[in-house]
Amino acid sequence: MSTAISTTPGTDERSGDGGVAPVLIPHWIGGRAVPPADGAPTAAVTNPATGRVSGRVPLGTAADVDAAVAAARTAFPAWRDTALSRRGQVLFAFRELLNARKEELAAILTAEHGKVLSDALGEVSRGLEVVEFACGIPHLLKGGFTENASTRVDVYSIRQPLGVVGIISPFNFPAMVPMWFFPIAIAAGNTVVLKPSEKDPSASVWIAELWREAGLPDGVFNVVHGAKESVDALLDHPDVASISFVGSTPIARYVYERGTAAGKRVQALGGAKNHLLVLPDADLDLAADAAVNAGFGSAGERCMAISALVVVEPVADELVGKIRDRMGRLRTGDGAAVRDGVGADMGPLVTREHRDKVAGFVAAGEAEGADLVVDGRGVEPDGEADGFWLGPTLFDRVTPAMSIYQQEIFGPVLSVVRVESYDDGLHLINANPYGNGTAIFTNDGGAARRFQNEVEVGMIGVNVPIPVPMAYYSFGGWKSSLFGDSHAHGMEGVHFFTRGKVVTSRWLDPSHGGINLGFPQNH
Ligand code: NAD
């Protein structure tokens, strides 16, 4: 299954990836692959493990967005009137196809994002859980009914789809993040225009083809590629009812402000700086495993990655030692390569620019006086020299004044901040402008309970480092990690993608009324 179109290699891409000419990745509009217009601008898509260009993605224009929105608008009336049982069948078919072919999708994720295959499969599985949640849409859309609210007056509530909804997604989860939104949006009767990240756009077109195979009518799911121009066109388009955005905080704030100014419903999930607080009574082996998994999984390019390890002083030396030992056993390499039945633990970073930016943070941390315990810049990767490598990096004695503490690094850099007490740790976390995820490691149930009550963060783990809620709960942070008041998926997702109506009805018996200009009395 591939709609990619071979393109003439440019100067920077003589052989493409693995000697194959770069492909031109099409938009998906009205149920078919749509190549960009002749001469339309494109951007390179690279394989981060080889550094070679594997494709070119069109930088969609306002005209491309217009075409996709028009297709979605045309498809909307019939899709919203499609019986729930039929919509459910399409969702179940999509779920079955995705489950059967998840390895294919995982391979695409690894080739364009760089994360290792096992992690890519995990990403698809988390997306599948939202599809499974959305399969229950008949139940999720059930309204309330009150019989005889007043004499012979019944009141009931219904929820209806919004229309054409826009989704704008980041590079770090090219399959899962769009799947936080579109299964519920589609199940609820909306039609979708997805603008994926231009860094790893192929997954979205693969998913569009799968929807077609599952029997989704043309125009219900559309993909327009691009960057700022296509995002702005979606934000301003009068026929787009809502925007679901995930990405960095400055862009999330911008999307929220521009989208709401245009009268849209907007949920915009932003960046993060996630803290893991370790109390002295914690199981330190468990905490060390958690810090390594949550700090370096997906090369730290997760919005729920642990970036600051806040350790109460008496156990800091021991914990840092345990983490350093574990880091010594990590293998950084090509996420697609499996040797002796074992894959690498960590892949490359997504682009050369991003790798250089993260390496710049490592240099800044050193210059600012943090203890560089493990320096990932010297990593010997199991992969090609031109990959965008940076090994797992550990800083100790980081202070809140340092740039490596203040900025979202979004790479494999873990900073240990030593504190004197639980209260100091809590204060630090609550003073941070972000509030996406956090975790506490302790064997003290009372302390854990206090933490979940007092910490100003949207998603909390207790002895769980990356507390991503299951699909039937909702995902989202607080403060600068979310603009808007709707989190993703779960019932908040169902509410976001529907509008409520309340119907008050009276069937008279016998059928005559009478004039009464006053508000009704409750009898
Ligand atoms: P990004 O903000 O650069 O890009 C996100 C999307 O916005 C992309 O589709 C991109 O094309 C578009 N975009 C970029 N610049 C734009 C501009 N000037 N105007 C309009 N649109 C623009 O984010 P990214 O680098 O792709 O992803 C990493 C960021 O996403 C991190 O900050 C991470 O924390 C965040 N993230 C947050 C969550 C969450 O749930 N809160 C989840 C995943 C990622």
Return residue ranges of the chain for CATH 3.40.309.10: 274-462
Residue 3: per-residue pLDDT: 58
To the question of domain 60-270+481-501 being in CATH 3.40.605.10, the answer is yes
Query: Does any ligand 1 atom lie closer than 6 A to the CB of residue 185?
Result: no
Query: Does any ligand 1 atom lie closer than 6 A to the CB of residue 272?
Result: yes
Tokens of 235: 């934000």
The residue contributing the CA closest to ligand 1 atom 23 is 247
- For 234-246, the pLDDT digits (tens) are 999 999 999 999 9
CB 501 within 8 A of CB 166: no
β-sheet with 482-483: strand ranges across: 32-34, 27-29, 221-223, 191-195, 164-168, 240-246, 265-269, 482-483
Residue 510: per-residue pLDDT: 65
Nearest to 45 by CA among 59, 32, 31: 59
Q: Please report the ipTM that was assigned to this predicted complex.
A: 0.99
Tokens of 101: 């072919």
Q: How far apart are CA 22 and CA 44, in angstroms?
A: 9
Nearest to 140 by CA among 173, 99, 91: 91
CB 386 within 8 A of CB 51: yes
Residue 517: per-residue pLDDT: 86
**Stated pTM of the model:** 0.96
Rg (CA), the chain: 25
Which residue reads 């490596």 in tokens? 404
CB 492 within 8 A of CB 267: no
**Type of residue at 323:** I
Tokens of 61: 């224009």
The residue contributing the CA closest to ligand 1 atom 15 is 228
Residue 339: per-residue pLDDT: 80
- For 418-476, the pLDDT digits (tens) are 999 999 999 999 999 999 999 999 999 999 999 999 999 999 999 999 999 999 999 99
Burial class (CB in 10 A: 0-12, 13-18, 19+), 65: buried
DSSP-derived 3-state class of residue 148: strand
Query: Does any ligand 1 atom lie closer than 6 A to the CB of residue 223?
Result: no
Q: How far apart are CA 425 and CA 420, in angstroms?
A: 8
Q: How far apart are CA 346 and CA 329, in angstroms?
A: 11
Cα distance from N-terminal residue to C-terminal residue, the chain? 64
Q: How far apart are CA 134 and CA 88, in angstroms?
A: 8
Residue 523: per-residue pLDDT: 59
Tokens of 434: 């972000």
Provide the annotated active-site residues.
303
Cα of 354 vs centre of ligand 1, distance in Å, is 13
Q: Are strands 437-441 and 274-278 parallel, antiparallel or unpaired?
A: parallel
Domain 274-462, CATH class in plain words: alpha beta
Which residue reads 């294919």 in tokens? 104
pLDDT means over runs of 10, the chain (523 residues): 48 52 95 95 98 98 98 98 98 98 98 98 98 98 96 95 99 98 98 98 98 98 98 98 98 98 98 98 98 98 98 98 98 92 95 98 98 97 97 98 98 98 98 98 98 98 96 98 98 98 88 75 64
Residue 6: per-residue pLDDT: 47
Residue 520: per-residue pLDDT: 73
Return residue ranges of the chain for CATH 3.40.605.10: 60-270+481-501
